[in-house]
Amino acid sequence: MKEVVMAKVAFIGLGTMGYPMAGHLAKAGHEVCVYNRTQAKAEKWVAQFGHRLASTPEEAARDAEFVMTCVGNDEDLYQVTLGETGVLKGMAPNAILIDHTTASAEIARQLDSACREQRCGFLDAPVSGGQAGAENGVLGIMVGGASESFARAEPVIAVYAKAIKHLGEAGSGQLTKMVNQICIAGLLQGLAEATHFLKQSGLDGESVFDVIQHGAAGSWQMANRHQTMLNDQFDFGFAVDWMRKDLSLVLDEARRNGARLPVTALVDQFYADVQQMGGGRWDTSSLLKRLEPGK
């Protein structure tokens, strides 16, 4: 096992994912300074975990060896990094910016260039595993950026990860997250159709899934979502609005690189239908509601 040296860390963005991730850093013994756009959330975090909060991202980043960001989208990320009070205004040479936002590969490359100009490191490191993965410290983290920066950062981000993989130059992490979301979109549509089909056939859903989840059709989505889908429960988990944001990144990138993604584009439109049904905050498994709108 690698020796973990305690570090000064700034964490920007205390949402559903960032709040517990920053908490794992604090519990591991790192010195943590947090910033959140809604200060009350940062105050709540400090009350729970101790340490300190900053009034701006720039202030949080001063003297930090590692600066983590976990915000909503490209625009939010730009503001907390390259904005007037962004972290790059406060980062010292040799510090490393680690972005956990699911964002575009384009902004990852932009941040990598800006960090290089300041003699800082940069890693785009989107995560997979959802709120439960963040709370339990078992996220999958896909990383792009310089190998030297990755080697330094890996022992620190490992406190909230089950698996970490360096995948290449800046942007590679975001591109890999897009691959992840393509897979999930197709899986969930298949699971929704299968659930609808078995109901229409008069089969016992629990018995069906108890058998098939152990075979070639099995997946994390099936193991963790079949019961809630059978029970028509969708008010939890990774929201449809977030998935549509992620799929828009996927489809934009596909237009740039020439990839053909007919199923992904179709499922994206199915999620638009779910939004029209008022399900923007429903879990992504709510594709079933589109097939059974009256239930």
What torsion, rounded to 10 degrees, do the Cα atoms 193, 194, 198, 201 define?
60
All residues at 6 or more sequence positions from 5 whose CB lies less than 8 Å from its CB, including other chains: 155
* CA angle 256–172–287, rounded 5-degree value: 70
Residue type, 218: G
Q: Which residue has tokens 């339990």?
A: 136
Active site residues: 177
**Rounded to the nearest 10 degrees, what angle do helices 172-200 and 105-117 cross at?**
160
**CA-to-CA separations, 237 to 11, 39, 186, 225, 270, in angstroms, rounded:** 23, 24, 17, 10, 18
**CA-to-CA separations, 84 to 34, 56, 78, 113, 148, in angstroms, rounded:** 18, 10, 10, 18, 29
Between CA 108 and CA 173 the distance in angstroms is 9
Q: What phi and psi values does residue 35 have, to the nearest 5 degrees?
A: -140, 140
Between CA 173 and CA 141 the distance in angstroms is 8
